[in-house]
């Protein structure tokens, strides 16, 4: 696929026309593809941009693609893009916009065609955004198509406007050649800067004002050349100026006595105030409370002692509480044991003294005596603590 480049423009695609060297005040034609535009066209596009300082506006560039051995674009006029979708960072040409542009070309510019487009970047400086490049690739993709960008916020600066052309399918910036049919308009309150830079003379009101959209360095260079030419002109000789030696001071300024006393009083007052401040400072240092700084180890020891005492007191309180509980439990246990003994143990009557009575009573009261063998057995079999119940004496059977 062939790249988009002005070198691919042929003579059949162009209108034969001589390059306007005289109008541009040039001795010879610059090589390569060039952009030639009227100053009035630039002023018209700038005036359109000043109407909208917050949203982008745009239009179409109409002119001719000319040939004089090499191609160049001659921009004759610009058509305002009406019915556009204007936003802060983009401008969109609608179908109504294209209908209006073609209608204007048929009515006013029948021998011209669209050679490019223009739009503004209010506050964004001069460049082509991704959306602008999309418009160039999709709509203005002919090798001779150009683009113009203007920032109304920095109009008085050199980088407030710029043209862009195709180079190897890439859009790059290029300086145009401007025909000064009208003076350049600048947004200032005076016309001081409306001068002719192209002729190299800062003051040339009789000549047609036009200059290329060069960088500010070119303007500085031209100004420096003019200043250098002026500096080379020698000044006329002048009479030497006699320098008289400085005269000694003859007048003595006499200060009245009252003024001297005021000065002395002020000096004395300042001295007394200084001494008073010093005395107050030293008194404050002497009378201020002295705070002894306890070493950190002393604080640690004091904290440990305090914690130890607290632990000892807590342990003593717990031990005393447990002792009291044990004592109360022991008393309750003793009371329970006493009540159990009262209810379980039999009541023993004291032994009665022997009475002299009948032998029958003796036999009833006195138990029979067992032999020693049976008594020993009964004593061994019975436990010590158990009380033997009182049983009637056993009677042996009679043989």
Output the tens digit of pLDDT for each of the chain's 399 residues.
Answer: 678 999 999 999 999 999 999 999 999 999 999 999 999 999 999 999 999 999 999 999 999 999 999 999 999 999 999 999 999 889 999 999 999 999 999 999 999 999 999 999 999 999 999 999 999 999 999 999 999 999 999 887 778 899 999 999 999 999 999 998 888 766 553 333 333 333 333 333 333 333 334 333 443 443 444 444 444 444 444 445 444 555 544 444 444 555 566 777 888 888 999 989 999 988 888 887 665 555 577 787 888 888 888 889 998 888 988 898 898 888 888 888 888 877 775 655 566 565 555 555 555 555 555 455 455 555 555 554 444 445 555 444 443
**Residues 6 or more apart whose Cβ sits within 8 Å of residue 253:** none
Residue 200 φ/ψ, nearest 5 degrees: 80, 5
Q: How far apart are CA 22 and CA 32, in angstroms?
A: 18
Q: How far apart are CA 360 and CA 375, in angstroms?
A: 25
**Residues 6 or more apart whose Cβ sits within 8 Å of residue 118:** 45, 58, 59, 60, 61, 78, 147, 148, 149, 150
Domain boundaries, the chain: 6-189
Q: How far apart are CA 184 and CA 138, in angstroms?
A: 33
The answer to whether 36 and 180 are in contact (CB under 8 A) is no
Position 224 scores a pLDDT of 46
Count the Cβ atoms, other than its own, within 10 Å of residue 181.
14
Position 336 scores a pLDDT of 84
Position 375 scores a pLDDT of 52
Q: How far apart are CA 98 and CA 81, in angstroms?
A: 8
CATH of domain 6-189: 3.40.140.10
Q: How far apart are CA 384 and CA 380, in angstroms?
A: 9
Position 119 scores a pLDDT of 96
Q: Return the exposure string of 12-51: e unless at least 16 CB atoms fall within 10 Å of the residue's CB, then b.
A: eebeeeebbeebbbeeebeeebbbbbbbbbbebbbebbee
């Amino acid at each position: 696929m062939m790249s988009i480049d002005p070198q691919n423009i042929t003579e059949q695609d162009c209108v034969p026309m001589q390059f306007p060297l005289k109008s541009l005040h040039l001795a010879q034609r610059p090589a390569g593809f060039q952009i030639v535009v009227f100053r009035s066209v630039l002023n018209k596009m700038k005036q359109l941009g000043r109407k909208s300082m917050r949203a982008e506006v745009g239009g179409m560039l109409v002119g001719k693609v000319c040939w004089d051995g090499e191609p160049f674009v001659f921009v004759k006029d610009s058509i305002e893009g009406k019915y556009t979708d204007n936003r802060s960072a983009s401008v969109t040409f609608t179908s109504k916009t294209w209908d209006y542009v073609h209608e204007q070309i048929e009515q006013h510019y029948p021998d011209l065609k669209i050679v490019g487009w223009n739009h503004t970047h209010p506050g964004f400086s001069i460049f082509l955004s991704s959306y602008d490049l999309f418009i160039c690739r999709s709509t203005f993709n002919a090798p001779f198509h150009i683009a113009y960008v203007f920032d109304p916020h920095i109009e008085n600066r050199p980088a407030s406007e710029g043209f862009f052309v195709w180079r190897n399918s890439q859009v790059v910036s290029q300086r145009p050649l401007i025909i000064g049919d009208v003076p350049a308009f600048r947004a200032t309150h005076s016309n001081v800067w409306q001068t002719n830079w192209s002729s190299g003379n800062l003051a040339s009101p009789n000549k047609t004002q036009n200059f290329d959209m060069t960088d500010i360095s070119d303007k500085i260079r031209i100004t420096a050349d003019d200043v250098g030419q002026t500096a080379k002109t020698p000044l006329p000789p002048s009479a030497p100026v006699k320098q008289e030696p400085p005269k000694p001071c003859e007048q003595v300024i006499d200060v009245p006595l009252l003024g001297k006393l005021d000065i002395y009083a002020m000096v004395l007052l300042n001295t007394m105030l200084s001494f008073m401040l010093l005395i107050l400072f030293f008194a404050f240092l002497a009378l201020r409370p002295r705070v002894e700084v306890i070493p950190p180890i002393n604080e640690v020891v004091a904290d440990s002692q305090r914690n130890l005492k607290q632990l000892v007191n807590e342990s003593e309180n717990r031990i005393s509480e447990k002792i009291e509980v044990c004592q109360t439990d022991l008393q309750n246990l003793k009371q329970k044991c006493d009540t159990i003994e009262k209810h379980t143990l039999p009541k023993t009557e004291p032994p009665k003294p022997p009475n002299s009575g009948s032998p029958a009573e003796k036999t009833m009261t006195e138990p029979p005596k067992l032999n020693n063998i049976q008594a020993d057995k009964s004593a061994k079999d019975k436990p010590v603590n158990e009380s033997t119940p009182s049983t009637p004496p056993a009677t042996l059977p009679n043989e």
